[in-house]
């Protein structure tokens, strides 16, 4: 069936570095993509989203890139801080569907 997955389960970076978290999706009907951050013991927190009519969207210190040709999504975090340490989930939603499909998540560890 259709799925959303992550290339790297764990990413370790030094404070101040830029981080890139990748996500592959397989449902060509997906037209809406979301990144969530989940800190230990908390629920997922919305970070940024992007629709399929865009290939890049920027937020505060975060950028999401969408490559529909290869069905790839990435989250870039600039100047990573220890407070960015968390599990990051990508999710995709097909047109007209109200239920997103979540990947397993990537654990980002930021070393001071």
Partner 1 sequence: GAGVSQSPSNKVTEKGKDVELRCDPISGHTALYWYRQRLGQGLEFLIYFQGNSAPDKSGLPSDRFSAERTGESVSTLTIQRTQQEDSAVYLCASSQGSLETQYFGPGTRLLVL
Asked if residue 36 binds partner 1 (CB under 8 A), the reply is yes
3-state helix, strand, coil in the chain (%, to 5): 5, 55, 40
Determine which residue in the list 15, 78, 102, 109 makes contact with partner 1, applying CB under 8 A. Answer: 102
- Give the shortest CB-20-to-partner 1 separation in angstroms: 20
Determine which residue in the list 43, 53, 60, 83 makes contact with partner 1, applying CB under 8 A. Answer: 43
Helix or strand or coil: residue 84? helix
Half-sphere exposure of residue 75: CA atoms within 13 angstroms, side-chain side: 32
- Give the shortest CB-79-to-partner 1 separation in angstroms: 25
Q: How far is CA 60 from CA 23, 28, 36, 76, in A?
A: 20, 29, 14, 11
Asked if residue 1 binds partner 1 (CB under 8 A), the reply is no
Q: Alpha-carbon distance 80 to 93, whole Å?
A: 28
Stretch that binds partner 1, among 21-29, 54-62, 72-80, 94-102 (CB under 8 A): 94-102
Q: Which residues bind partner 1 (CB under 8 A)?
A: 34, 36, 41-46, 49, 89, 91, 98-100, 102-105
């Amino acid at each position: 069936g259709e799925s959303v997955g992550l290339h790297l389960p764990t990413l370790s970076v030094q404070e101040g570095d830029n981080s890139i978290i990748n996500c592959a999706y397989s449902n060509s009907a997906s037209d809406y993509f979301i990144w969530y951050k989940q800190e230990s013991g908390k629920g997922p927190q919305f970070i940024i989203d992007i629709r399929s009519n865009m290939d890049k969207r920027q937020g505060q210190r975060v950028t999401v890139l969408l490559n529909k040709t290869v069905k790839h999504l990435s989250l870039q975090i600039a100047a990573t801080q220890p407070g960015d340490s968390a599990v990051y989930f990508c999710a995709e939603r097909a047109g007209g569907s109200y239920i997103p499909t979540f990947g397993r998540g990537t654990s980002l560890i930021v070393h001071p």
